[in-house]
Amino acid sequence: MSQPAILSVNSGSSSIKFALYPVQNNALAPAFISGVLEGLEPDGQIRLRMNQQSLPADHISGENDDARFTAALQWLHQQVSLHAGSFTICAVAHRIVHGGGHYAASCAVTPDVLQTLRSYEHLAPLHQPHNLDGVAAFARAYPDVPQIACFDTGFHATMPDDETRFALPLREHEQGVRRYGFHGLSYRFVSHRLSELSVRASGRVLMAHLGNGASLCAMRNGESIATTMGFSALDGLMMGSRCGQLDPGVILHWLDQGRDRKSIEHLLYKESGLLGVSGISADMRTLRASDAPQAAAAISQFAYRIRREAGGLTAVLQGLDVLAFTGGIGEHDAQLRADVVQGLSYLGLKLDAAANQAATGDAAMAIHAPDSGIEIWVVPTDEGMIAAQDALALIN
């Protein structure tokens, strides 16, 4: 008799992550297989890893981003079928970036739910279409298996009105033009992990999810009270190929120049950020390896924007007890962490340089000096685990 398992799929803007979690005694066991396919961002170099082993990626190709993503989904389904023969998949949990005003808690995907979520694609064009294409692909592959949507916006449902409201007429707010916040599954995991690691985690916490997409979240008493992303996943920090915070007057200027919506959207989502400033790559690792002055300028601006937004969120929190780094850059780039902490040293943060260098994202690790007034942690995130837990709870 085969063992039940939950498959977790995170079809993102630059990567597809997956993990298969066996179910034992009505709880999730550690992942039996897990992997990531990276490099799906514009001009990215595709890399595959399965259970920490690198695999050839030559067979995943395409003339454009959509073709590469489709090929990546096909590869993922093949790998799951190949390695999960002894398991019965009882649910597929999907990270969905935007739940809009309808969905905060995770739910089963029905045709009506899918149609509603498709209507939010313009709010997160890098993510939402890929998220939902992943749902559709696995619904075809496993037609009798529940597909569970787990929303990045849900964690931020606790934010107060002062944070969610724009200074726009009430009618706009009532029609859903408001701040939502994203990276919620990651923040849920980090929040829970911090509560296991530190007694200060119930206090004033600033979490930094830094990757191809990047944001900060201010948390008090385990709840989100403010975040840098807003109505869409464009706002806040500079990112891999996204601009981050931008004066809306720039958009009006481009419209006056005669630019159309599609070209503006492409510029903001796929030509900006680290890629736009450097003119080289959206990948921080590539920029670190470059000696071009544009690469250094992009890295400097990335760190500056984090420090600038962190200052604002610290004011909202009225102080700081814990700073936590997560995400691909946050977990692996020791120099970036050092630059951010140095810029926030006026708050009382002090880094343990050796611990910072030793923190490589393999496990949660404290990197603050003994005399630091604020704890500093590196916490590897696991959005897939959070999604799988929600899926298990729903099917039960």
CA-to-CA distance for 110 and 284, rounded, in angstroms? Answer: 38
Indicate if 144 belongs to the active site. no
Active-site annotation holder among 66, 152, 352, 382: 152
244 is in an annotated binding site: no
267 is in an annotated binding site: no
12 is in an annotated binding site: no
210 is in an annotated binding site: yes
Q: Enter the tokens of residue 331.
A: 């977990």
Single out the residue of 240, 229, 311 nearest to residue 270, CA to CA: 240
121 is in an annotated binding site: no
211 is in an annotated binding site: yes
258 is in an annotated binding site: no
328 is in an annotated binding site: yes
State the DSSP code for 183: -
330 is in an annotated binding site: yes
Single out the residue of 230, 225, 259 nearest to residue 267, CA to CA: 259
CB atoms within 10 A of CB 82: 9
Which residues, in sequence order, are bridge partners of residue 34? 19
332 is in an annotated binding site: yes
Residue 178 backbone class (left: φ over 0; alpha: ψ -120 to 50; beta: rest): beta
- Chain centroid to Cα 366, Å, comes to 22
For residue 212, give the 3-state DSSP assignment.
coil
154 is in an annotated binding site: no
356 is in an annotated binding site: no
CB atoms within 10 A of CB 293: 9
For every residue of 98-116, DSSP letters joined together read: --TTT-SS-EE--HHHHHH
Are the C-beta atoms of 306 and 342 separated by less than 8 Å? no
Are the C-beta atoms of 118 and 127 separated by less than 8 Å? no
17 is in an annotated binding site: yes
65 is in an annotated binding site: no
Q: Which residues are annotated as a binding site for ATP?
A: 17, 209-213, 283-285, 328-332
Q: Which residues are annotated as a binding site for Mg(2+)?
A: 10, 383
Q: Which residues are annotated as a binding site?
A: 10, 17, 95, 209-213, 283-285, 328-332, 383
Active site residues: 152
Q: Which residues are annotated as a binding site for substrate?
A: 95
